[in-house]
Amino acid sequence: MKTKLLFISLLIIFIIFSCSQKEEQTLITKKIQYDVSITNTNPDYDPWIENIIPAKRAAFVQGVMDAAYSGKIEVYDYFNNPISAAELQNLGVDTTYRTLTRSYPPYEEFDTVIVSRLNIRDINKIRFLEEWKMNETNLVFEKKVIGIAPVIDKYDSDGNLLGKQPLFWIYPEGEPN
C-alpha cells in the first residue's frame, strides 16, 4: 500500500513538473537598438516593406506623440534623463538665423530668423530598444520591446543632412537598467 501511494505521488509530481516546464530560452542580447523605417521611399517595394500604411502610420505616430505630450507616460532624452512637459514642447523646434539676399535690385542683404516646427510627417523611423531570446530547439525568437523613440532627419542650416535624431525615448515598462 505504501509503495502504491509513493508511486502515485511520484507520478503526480512528475506530471505537474513536466507540464509546467517552459522550454529553455537562451538570452541572445539584453539590449539591441535599431531603426525601422515607417515610410516607404521605394515605389517598387510591396506596401508592407519598410512601411506602415499611411493611415495607420499617422494614427500610430500621433498616439505616441499625444501620450508623450499629455504626460500620460514618462519621456526621456537620449541619455535617459527625464524630459519635462516644457522641454518636450520645444523638441522639434529649430531656430536658424540667416543672412539672405533680396531677389530684386539693389539685391541687398538682410538678416532673418527662420523657425521650423516639427510636423508629424517628419517622423520617418521608429528606433527600438529590445531584448532578444531564442529557443535553441526550434529557433523561435522572443523579442521584448524595452523602449521606442520617434526619429527624424536632422539638417544643418544649409539643408545638409546631419543624420538621424531620436526625439525622445519611451519605456513601456519603466526606465531600463
CB 37 within 8 A of CB 124: yes
Residue 61, in any domain of the structure? yes
Which has more pLDDT, 172 or 14?
A: 172
Residue 36 lies in domain: 24-93+120-170
Residue 161, in any domain of the structure? yes
- pTM flag (> 0.85): no
Residue 125, in any domain of the structure? yes
Provide the pLDDT for residue 20.
46
User: What percentage of the chain reaches a pLDDT higher than 90?
Assistant: 38
Residue 2, in any domain of the structure? no
Residue 177, in any domain of the structure? no
Residue 106, in any domain of the structure? no
pLDDT of 50 higher than 80: no
Residue 16, in any domain of the structure? no
Instruction: Report how many domains make up the chain.
Output: 1
Radius of gyration of the chain (CA): 26
> 151 vs 34, 111, 128, CA distance in Å?
11, 31, 10
CA atoms within 13 A on the CB side of 61: 25
Find all residues with CB under 8 Å of 88, minimum gap 6, and list them.
Answer: 68, 69, 75, 168
Task: Report how far residue 120's alpha carbon sits from residue 62's, in angstroms, rounded to the nearest whole number.
Answer: 7
Task: Report how far residue 29's alpha carbon sits from residue 40's, in angstroms, rounded to the nearest whole number.
Answer: 29
Cα-Cα-Cα-Cα dihedral sign, residues 116, 119, 122, 123 = positive
Residue 149, in any domain of the structure? yes
Average pLDDT over residues 55-83: 89
